[in-house]
A and B are shown apart, each in its own frame.
Chain A
Amino acid sequence: MRIAVIGAGVIGLSTALCIHDRFHALVPQLQLEVYADRFTPHTTSDGAAGLWQPYLSDHGNLQETLWNKETFEHLLGYLNSPEAKEMGLFLISGYNLFKQPVPDPSWKNIVLGFRNLTPKELELFPGYSYGWFNTALMLECRSYLPWLTNRLAQRGVKFFHRKVESFEEMFSQGIDVVINCTGIRAGELQPDPALQPARGQIIKVLAPWVKHFIITHDMESGIYSSPYVIPGSEFTVLGGIYQQGNWNEENSAQDHKSIWERCCRLLPMLQKAEIVQEWSGLRPARPTVRLERESIGHGRSRTEVIHNYGHGGFGITIHWGCAMAAARLLGNILQEKQSQSRL
């Protein structure tokens, strides 16, 4: 039973690990392979700051809220373990700021210590009149992806550095099930108009005196189009760009200026921060995450694809819940194949 995961970002690697965890003992002949043309540190996941935080509203999509919760709790379990640092996992507290009162988010009881901001705290952020404080998690992919990769390699999972051109290519090589974790480029394997880039750009600075994340919101411009500051273990990420439909992975001088000016206005002390790096990436945005089975072909040559892509700007936040859901779908497939083989 050969299973190929296409994509080695946070979604691909975590799905591979979850599958291996769940099935390697049950299916002794299970062979797991990961195919990707980009590995860490060159994936979209590597560019993300790594803050666990869903969007403000789940638009009634309770499934995604549940996957977010499962991810948070899974990560919390590792927090006090010796692995945490190697995973790039740590607790972080911070602020979400608004210009008017907003309803509490779907994740208020998932994070720790969620509360509204006091008037004195709001004095820190002129122009913002309402906000939240909570403690959440950071999961830095430049540590987490290598950690996942090491775990997979230790278990004998094979990695292939190449671009997969089609599902058929996989099946013709004897792959039984494909797990499609190709993120923004899923459309190259199978057209999907619902999947669109939401371009982001960030500036990484040295600002070790910043200990809180600060995410501002402009309810009119939309998520992540308003400045944010997210301190990592080494660098602080400044951002606030969300451009739908923009495929350009090059850094834009105009976006740089916009991020820098708005973040320095938010946090004057950033003016003294040294700029270390600039990065742009394409969030794989979709109205809902595509997490479903698809049978390709028919009869004896029927093969299965499990899609797991379209996680927008919340891939890290939702990854483990989705990995488990993908693993469950694989479980169904394995069960069906087992029943078939008995007929």
Chain B
Amino acid sequence: MEYCECLSPPIPTPQMAAPRVAVVGAGLIGLSTALRIAEVNPNCCSITLLSEQFSPNTTSDVAAGMLIPHTYPGTPIHVQKQWFKETFTYLFAISNSAEASEAGIHLVSGWQIFKNPSEAEVPFWSDIVLGFRPMSAAELQKFPQHSHGQAFTTLKCDCPPYLLWLEKRLKANGVQIHTRKVADLWELHSEYDIVVNCTGIGARQLVGDQQLFPIRGQVLKVHAPWVKNFIRDGDGLTYIYPGIDSVTLGGTREKESWRLSPDPGTTKDIFDRCCSLEPSLQRAQDIRVKVGLRPSRSCVRLQREVLSQGGAKLLVVHNYGHGAGGFSVHRGTAEEAAHLVQECIAALQGSSSRAKL
């Protein structure tokens, strides 16, 4: 009879040992999923986070962390809207608390601008962000090459602060964190009962998912603290996102490119495009270049899988493939993944009691 090592008094379970859960991946998805699992299963399982990379070396650290959703063609809009709403609500509460500065969460207002009026449709998330409305003619004068725009206020999750804050919350919830490269999910079958696969672009190799592909993004992080508003071209390619200590200038969308090293020509191109939207950026200092590979897929892979070899089994929950929209939906997909983990736990307990008959 084993007792689970949790914060609450141990619950003796004569049928089985406390399920051992491993979350693989310590980017935004791994950390937030592990946290949600810990929050909804406070009494009954041990959770370990395994990852080769941690902040500041994850894909999430490259992203600006803006809550502006990306649309997944393979997921119903009402689901995406639910994910975004849950994420926005969660972060909104943090932004309004004393934790905001440590968590790196802050409100930011700005504009999404379009050269082509047909692109300026009202998006599905317009009623979730704050104060969404079309830009006035006076506001558009700042952008002479653009004819339409939308103004709104949304949230930004600055990384590394947000990821470090999540790590801290994990430790407070009794989650063990280990640096480890997992080459094959099956290698975990003897130590863990349930594995949650949050490996992002790494899933391509780890589980051989051919539907997952990188969309390379290069960004600049610059010192320009007078830039207080975001500006995003509706084509998604050019954007200026002011963060706590730097402004993220972007970007690129290069499908199927695995190149992690920065390209100097691209750097100049990004800088020029952003300066044309915000000329004061000419005076930006301390330009750093970063590259991230968006783990892109037509829809996020959120599903259970059972791996088995011989008589042994390993229950897997996949939560990867968030592409350009990870920050916007992370809490919502973490919630769903945590439910899938609960289903796995129930399945283990069910088969365990059946085994006793």
Q: Which of A82, A91, A115, A272 contacts B101 (CB 8 A)?
A: A272
Q: Flag the segment in A15-23, A116-124, A255-263 that touches B.
A: A116-124
The SS class assigned to the A binding surface is mixed
Q: CB-nearest residue of chain B relative to A93? A: B109
Interchain nearest-CB distance for A75 vs B (Å): 13
Interfacial chain B residues near A91, Cβ < 8 Å: 142, 228-229
Interfacial chain B residues near A92, Cβ < 8 Å: 228-229
Q: Does the CB pair B225–A233 fall under 8 Å?
A: yes
Q: Does B24 belong to the interface (CB within 8 Å)?
A: no
Interfacial chain A residues near B106, Cβ < 8 Å: 209-211
Interchain nearest-CB distance for B284 vs A (Å): 9
Q: Does the CB pair B101–A84 fall under 8 Å?
A: no
Q: CB-nearest residue of chain A relative to B276? A: A80
B residues 112-137 in Cβ contact with A at 8 Å: 130-131, 133, 135-136
Q: Does the CB pair B245–A93 fall under 8 Å?
A: no
Q: Does the CB pair B280–A90 fall under 8 Å?
A: yes
- A201-214 CB mask vs B (1 if < 8 Å, else 0) is 00000011111100
Alpha-carbon distance between A61 and B160 when the two chains are bound, in angstroms: 51
Interfacial chain B residues near A84, Cβ < 8 Å: 279-280
- B133-155 CB mask vs A (1 if < 8 Å, else 0) is 10110110110000000010100
Interchain nearest-CB distance for B286 vs A (Å): 14
Q: Does the CB pair B151–A113 fall under 8 Å?
A: yes
Interfacial chain A residues near B110, Cβ < 8 Å: 93
Q: Does the CB pair B225–A234 fall under 8 Å?
A: yes
Q: Does the CB pair A231–B228 fall under 8 Å?
A: yes
Q: Does the CB pair A211–B109 fall under 8 Å?
A: yes
Q: Does A271 belong to the interface (CB within 8 Å)?
A: yes
Q: Does A273 belong to the interface (CB within 8 Å)?
A: yes
- A313-329 CB mask vs B (1 if < 8 Å, else 0) is 00000000000000000
Q: Does the CB pair B102–A272 fall under 8 Å?
A: yes
- B231-251 CB mask vs A (1 if < 8 Å, else 0) is 000000000001011000000
Q: Which of A81, A121, A211 contacts B131 (CB 8 A)?
A: A121
- A176-218 CB mask vs B (1 if < 8 Å, else 0) is 0000000000000000000000000000000111111000000
Number of interface residues of B (CB under 8 A): 38
Q: Does the CB pair B227–A90 fall under 8 Å?
A: yes
Interfacial chain A residues near B242, Cβ < 8 Å: 211
Q: Does the CB pair B229–A269 fall under 8 Å?
A: no
Q: Does B283 belong to the interface (CB within 8 Å)?
A: yes
Q: Which of A85, A113, A115, A269 contacts B280 (CB 8 A)?
A: A85
Known: A209-B101, A209-B104, A233-B225. A80 touches B142 (CB 8 A): yes
Q: Does B352 belong to the interface (CB within 8 Å)?
A: no
Q: Does the CB pair B136–A113 fall under 8 Å?
A: yes
Q: Does the CB pair A208–B244 fall under 8 Å?
A: yes
Alpha-carbon distance between A135 and B106 when the two chains are bound, in angstroms: 18
Known: A80-B279, A112-B138. A121 touches B151 (CB 8 A): no
Q: Does B355 belong to the interface (CB within 8 Å)?
A: no
A residues 98-120 in Cβ contact with B at 8 Å: 112-113, 115, 117-118, 120
Known: A121-B130, A212-B109. A93 touches B228 (CB 8 A): yes
Q: Does B98 belong to the interface (CB within 8 Å)?
A: yes
Alpha-carbon distance between A273 and B244 when the two chains are bound, in angstroms: 13
- A115-141 CB mask vs B (1 if < 8 Å, else 0) is 101101101100000000101001000
Interfacial chain B residues near A120, Cβ < 8 Å: 130
Alpha-carbon distance between A85 and B282 when the two chains are bound, in angstroms: 9
Alpha-carbon distance between A161 and B130 when the two chains are bound, in angstroms: 50
Q: Does B6 belong to the interface (CB within 8 Å)?
A: no
- B63-80 CB mask vs A (1 if < 8 Å, else 0) is 000000000000000000
Known: A112-B138, A115-B131. A211 touches B101 (CB 8 A): no
Q: Does the CB pair B225–A208 fall under 8 Å?
A: yes
Q: Does the CB pair B96–A268 fall under 8 Å?
A: yes
Alpha-carbon distance between A233 and B135 when the two chains are bound, in angstroms: 25
Q: Which of B101, B136, B151, B245 contacts A273 (CB 8 A)?
A: B101
Alpha-carbon distance between A207 and B225 when the two chains are bound, in angstroms: 11
Alpha-carbon distance between A90 and B279 when the two chains are bound, in angstroms: 11
Interfacial chain B residues near A231, Cβ < 8 Å: 228
Interfacial chain A residues near B98, Cβ < 8 Å: 268-269, 271-272
Interfacial chain A residues near B141, Cβ < 8 Å: 76
Alpha-carbon distance between A272 and B227 when the two chains are bound, in angstroms: 22
Interchain nearest-CB distance for B246 vs A (Å): 10
Q: Does B107 belong to the interface (CB within 8 Å)?
A: yes
Q: CB-nearest residue of chain B relative to A207? A: B101
Q: Does the CB pair B226–A112 fall under 8 Å?
A: no
Question: Which of A85, A211, A271 has the most B CB atoms < 10 Å from its CB?
Answer: A211
Q: Does A79 belong to the interface (CB within 8 Å)?
A: yes
Interchain nearest-CB distance for B159 vs A (Å): 13
Alpha-carbon distance between A268 and B93 when the two chains are bound, in angstroms: 12
Interfacial chain A residues near B135, Cβ < 8 Å: 113
Q: Which of B99, B107, B142, B282 contacts A211 (CB 8 A)?
A: B107
Interfacial chain B residues near A211, Cβ < 8 Å: 106-109, 228-229, 242
> B-contacting residues of A (Cβ < 8 Å)?
76, 79-82, 84-86, 88, 90-93, 112-113, 115, 117-118, 120-121, 123-124, 133, 135, 138, 207-212, 231, 233-234, 268-269, 271-273
- Known pairs A86-B283, A268-B100, A269-B99 / 11 extra A-B pairs, C-beta < 8 Å: A76-B141, A82-B280, A84-B280, A113-B136, A113-B139, A135-B139, A209-B106, A210-B106, A211-B107, A211-B109, A212-B109
Q: List 20 A-B contacts (CB under 8 A).
A: A80-B142, A85-B283, A86-B283, A90-B227, A90-B228, A91-B142, A93-B109, A93-B110, A93-B153, A112-B136, A113-B135, A115-B131, A121-B130, A208-B245, A209-B100, A209-B104, A211-B107, A211-B228, A269-B95, A272-B98
> A-contacting residues of B (Cβ < 8 Å)?
95-102, 104, 106-110, 130-131, 133, 135-136, 138-139, 141-142, 151, 153, 158, 225-229, 242, 244-245, 279-280, 282-283
- 7 shortest interchain CB distances as A-B pairs: A269-B100, A233-B226, A85-B283, A90-B226, A209-B106, A93-B109, A268-B98
